[in-house]
């Protein structure tokens, strides 16, 4: 690495870190004000803990835009100061000038992908615990997430669901335990399958076991169908079931296989699985897309114009990315295509523009 590379890297990391700090601070400040307005009586400690745990996710989501802004402002700064012309005159191509930036972006993406896969699930679970217990104050919505079972407590009942599919309003392997006021077990109910219709649950192929203090032996009876009225509906259970955010890639893959074997729909989880890989490349793709725009503009291009360009490219990519994931979740696009199409399309556009510049 020569002096020129170190100079370019210095500019890039200055712009990148500054952009990341500004974007994350603005997002957290606005979201915190919204939370304080929506939920009254929240302690300062709860707010601080929640947003301390929320910050890593926001940093991860803001990385692509920060990488784009760092790339555009670095090259625009070189172009505005005639340094880019001097580098061309010394025999350096635009590709050679951009290599330190692209290597930095690749390293950033790799490190944060590893961190998101290994650390983010634990941080997300802790953040959810603070949110449901201390902010929303509905601890029943929070459960200790495992890769194989979902536990939920509701007043005098505890129930376990083996696999849950909120999109189809269906679950497999339900076991419910009912207790009296002294928390003595009085009834156990099992069902192989549950169909949710709001607060009405239809249980299929199960059994009811009654525990009585007057009898030494529990009484059990089988049933084909049974209807229960519950205080929880499937919308609440979405918050306690398996979600991609609290699973590593390995755990998510195993979760998809388990649900597929149980006959449940897994398209949304497959989209999320591939999307994590696709989003990890977003910073590199957006940096590539920003290069032709930053050097093709005149040296008089101002900072605000370049900032607007970055925001426009970021919003465009995010709209395309979100639309593709939505189409994939509804089965319109295959999960692999939905996750990678935005990055491939943007990378193709970037390479086309760079080719015209003689990259």
Q: For residue 271, give both structure tokens.
A: 């989209």
The rounded percent of the chain whose pLDDT value lies above 90 is 26
Q: Is the pTM higher than 0.75?
A: no
**Whether pLDDT at 146 is above 50:** no
| Token pair 């549950």 in the structure block, residue | 194
Mean pLDDT, range 313-321, rounded to an integer: 84
Confidence band for 59, pLDDT divided at 50, 70 and 90? very high
H/E element, 315: helix 303-329
| Domain assignments of the chain as residue spans, ordered by start | 3-125+266-356, 148-241
The rounded percent of the chain whose pLDDT value lies above 70 is 85
The string of pLDDT tens digits covering residues 319-353 is: 888 899 999 988 889 999 999 998 898 889 888 88
Other CB atoms closer than 10 Å to residue 67's CB: what's the count? 30
**CA-CA distance, 150 to 162, in Å (whole number)?**
6
Instruction: Lowest mean pLDDT of 128-137, 234-243, 272-281, 292-301, name the range.
Output: 234-243
**CA-CA distance, 313 to 21, in Å (whole number)?**
19
**Whether pLDDT at 144 is above 50:** no
Residue 264: predicted pLDDT: 65
Q: 154 in helix, strand or coil?
A: strand
Q: What's the length of the chain? A: 359
């Amino acid at each position: 690495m020569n002096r020129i590379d170190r100079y370019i890297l210095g500019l890039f990391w200055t712009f990148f870190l500054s952009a990341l700090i500004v974007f994350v601070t603005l997002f957290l400040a606005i979201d915190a004000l919204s939370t304080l307005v929506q939920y009254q009586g929240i302690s300062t400690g709860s707010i601080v803990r929640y947003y301390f745990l929320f910050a890593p996710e926001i940093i991860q989501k803001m990385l692509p835009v920060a990488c784009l802004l760092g790339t555009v402002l670095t090259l625009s700064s070189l172009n505005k100061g005639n340094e880019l012309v001097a580098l061309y005159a010394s025999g350096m191509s635009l590709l050679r000038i951009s290599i330190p930036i692209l290597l930095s972006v690749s390293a950033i993406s790799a490190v944060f992908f590893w961190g998101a896969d290994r650390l983010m699930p634990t941080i997300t679970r802790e953040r959810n615990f603070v949110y449901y217990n201390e902010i929303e104050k509905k601890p029943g919505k929070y459960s200790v997430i495992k890769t194989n079972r979902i536990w939920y407590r509701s007043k005098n009942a505890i129930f376990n669901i083996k696999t849950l599919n909120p999109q189809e309003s269906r679950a497999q392997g339900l076991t419910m335990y009912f207790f009296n006021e002294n928390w003595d077990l009085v009834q156990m109910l099992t069902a192989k399958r549950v169909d949710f219709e709001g607060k009405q649950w239809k249980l299929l192929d199960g059994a009811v076991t009654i525990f009585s203090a007057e009898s030494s032996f529990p009484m059990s009876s089988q049933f084909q169908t049974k209807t229960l009225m519950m205080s929880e509906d499937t919308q609440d259970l979405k918050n306690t079931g398996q979600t991609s955010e609290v699973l590593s890639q390995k755990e998510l893959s195993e979760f998809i296989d388990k649900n597929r074997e149980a006959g449940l729909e897994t398209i949304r989880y497959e989209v999320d699985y591939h999307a994590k890989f696709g989003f990890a490349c977003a910073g590199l793709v957006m940096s590539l897309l920003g290069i032709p725009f930053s050097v093709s503009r005149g040296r008089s291009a101002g900072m605000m114009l370049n900032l607007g360009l970055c925001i426009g490219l970021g919003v465009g990519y995010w709209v395309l990315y979100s639309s593709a994931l939505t189409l994939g979740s509804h089965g319109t696009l295959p999960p692999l295509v939905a996750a990678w199409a935005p990055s491939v399309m943007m990378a193709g556009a970037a390479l086309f523009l760079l080719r015209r510049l003689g990259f």
